[in-house]
Amino acid sequence: MAGHTRRGPSNLALTILGVVVVLSAFFAIFANKIRADQSSSPLRASGLPASISTNTANLMGLTKLPARAADDFVLTDQRGRTMSFDSFKGRTVVLEFMDPHCTDICPIVSQEFVDAYHDLGTAAGNVVFVAVNVNKFHTSVAAMSSYSQAHLLSTIPTWHFFTGPVKSLAAVWHAYNIDVIAPGPNADIIHTSVVYFIDSAGHERYAAFPTDDHTASGKAYLPVDQISTWGHGIALVLRGLSH
């Protein structure tokens, strides 16, 4: 039987094989880079304003809410004016819940509100800044006024720190999912810290969740750059809702 000679691959085949190997290596490196970039990039919640950077949104815990009507209430502000929350329709509202005797996170949020007001510039006239009292032991108008002045919130023309009978306050806490633990008149009030952003039609649009740090002695603080970022972020959300 005649022998059969096995021929080796041609130069062309070797060239093609080499190109395939190089391209495979390139795509493998490229895919690994994409995976590495994705793993190092911060995740972003969906439905957030494009003007808010991912880092700022994550710092704020910014979350899109179903556009439901914000619950109405009637309370009295730090100037003694009894008003309904629905009376603010037509303007954008930022709503927080504060303790007028708080020495923890409330003063930090107050500074963020003041920063946001200044950041808004001329757009501030279309925004209302609102807080509802969470301290059932201190419900006087004078307590709301004193806190507002001490933390410069009174410099915001559209600032309202609402208070009223405990039963009325508790109804508002319940409506906005605010948990309040108040052991006694001289104890720290523990409460849910959330900022609601409400559009001019009176619909809840976003929520953010303030946080703070503490020194070794237990004093609350937040780095100045984070307070500034929070203030700027609040202003950006409000400016977007005002358009």
pLDDT in tens, 123-169: 999 999 999 999 999 999 999 999 999 999 999 999 999 999 999 99
Task: List the beta bridge partners of residue 228.
Answer: none
Rounded Cα distance between 107 and 114, Å, is 11
Q: Quote the pLDDT of residue 27.
A: 41
Q: How far is CA 71 from the centre of its chain?
A: 20
Grade residue 25 by pLDDT with cuts at 50, 70 and 90: very low
Among 10-14, 49-53, 96-100, whose mean pLDDT is lowest? 10-14
Q: Please state the pTM of the whole predicted model.
A: 0.81
Q: Quote the pLDDT of residue 17.
A: 41
Task: Provide the 10 A C-beta neighbour count for residue 220.
Answer: 15
Q: What is the mean pLDDT of the chain?
A: 86
Alpha helix positions (H), 41-68: 54-60
Token pair, residue 162, equals 């609402």
In 3D space, the residue among 157, 164, 148 whose CA is nearest the CA of residue 73 turns out to be 164
User: What phi and psi values does residue 213 have, to the nearest 5 degrees?
Assistant: -115, 170
Grade residue 4 by pLDDT with cuts at 50, 70 and 90: very low
Among 27-31, 71-75, 195-199, whose mean pLDDT is lowest? 27-31
Residue 81 has pLDDT above 60, yes or no: yes
Q: Which amino acid is at 135?
A: N
Q: Quote the pLDDT of residue 10.
A: 52
Q: What is the DSSP letter of 123?
A: G
Alpha helix positions (H), the chain: 11-40, 54-60, 105-120, 141-150, 166-175, 224-242
**42 contact partners, CB below 8 Å, separation of at least 6:** 54, 55, 58
Rounded Cα distance between 14 and 204, Å, is 66
Domains in the chain: boundaries? 54-242
Q: Quote the pLDDT of residue 41.
A: 57
> Under CATH, to which class is 54-242 assigned?
alpha beta
| Burial (CB count <10 Å: 0-12, 13-18, 19+), residue 13 | exposed
Grouping H, G, I as helix, E, B as strand and the rest as coil, residue 155 is helix
User: Between these two residues, 185 and 234, which has the higher pLDDT value?
Assistant: 234
User: Between these two residues, 45 and 82, which has the higher pLDDT value?
Assistant: 82
Q: What is the DSSP letter of 18?
A: H
Average pLDDT, integer, range 99-108: 94
User: Between these two residues, 221 and 15, which has the higher pLDDT value?
Assistant: 221
